[in-house]
Amino acid sequence: MPSDKQEVRQAGQELLERVERVMADVDWSHFLELTQMLRKVKRIFVTGAGRSGLVARMFGMRLMHAGLTAYVPGETITPAAGRGDLLVAISCTGSTGYTDYLARRARQFGAKVVVITSEGDSALTRDADHVVLVPTTAEDIVTRAAVFEHAAGLCLDAVFDVISEKLKLDIAAFQARHANLE
Q: Identify the CA nearest to 44 among candidates 82, 11, 17.
A: 82
Q: Helix (H, G, I), strand (E, B), or coil: what is residue 180?
A: coil
Domain assignment present for residue 5? The answer is no
Domain assignment present for residue 91? The answer is yes
Q: Helix (H, G, I), strand (E, B), or coil: what is residue 119?
A: coil
pLDDT at position 140 is 83
Domain assignment present for residue 169? The answer is yes
Domain assignment present for residue 74? The answer is yes
Domain assignment present for residue 16? The answer is no
Total of domains in the chain: 1
User: Alpha-carbon torsion 95, 97, 98, 99, what sign?
Assistant: positive
Q: Would you please indicate which residues are annotated as catalytic (active-site) residues?
A: 149
Asked if residues 42 and 85 have their Cβ atoms less than 8 Å apart, the reply is yes
pLDDT at position 1 is 59
Q: What angle do CA 90, 95, 101 make, to 5 degrees?
A: 75
CATH of the domain at 103: 3.40.50.10490
pLDDT at position 24 is 96
pLDDT at position 103 is 97
Q: Identify the CA nearest to 33 among candidates 101, 127, 139, 115.
A: 115
pLDDT at position 165 is 86
Q: Identify the CA nearest to 155 among candidates 90, 67, 95.
A: 90
pLDDT at position 170 is 78
Domain assignment present for residue 12? The answer is no
Residues 6 or more apart from 140 whose CB is under 8 A from it?
A: none
pLDDT beneath 50, residues of the chain:
none
pTM score, whole prediction: 0.93
Spatial separation of the C-alpha atoms in residues 168 and 123, rounded to whole Å = 37
Spatial separation of the C-alpha atoms in residues 10 and 153, rounded to whole Å = 22
CA atoms within 13 A on the CB side of 2: 8
Domain span at residue 83 reads: 27-177
Q: What angle do CA 55, 60, 64 make, to 5 degrees?
A: 150
Domain assignment present for residue 53? The answer is yes
pLDDT at position 96 is 93
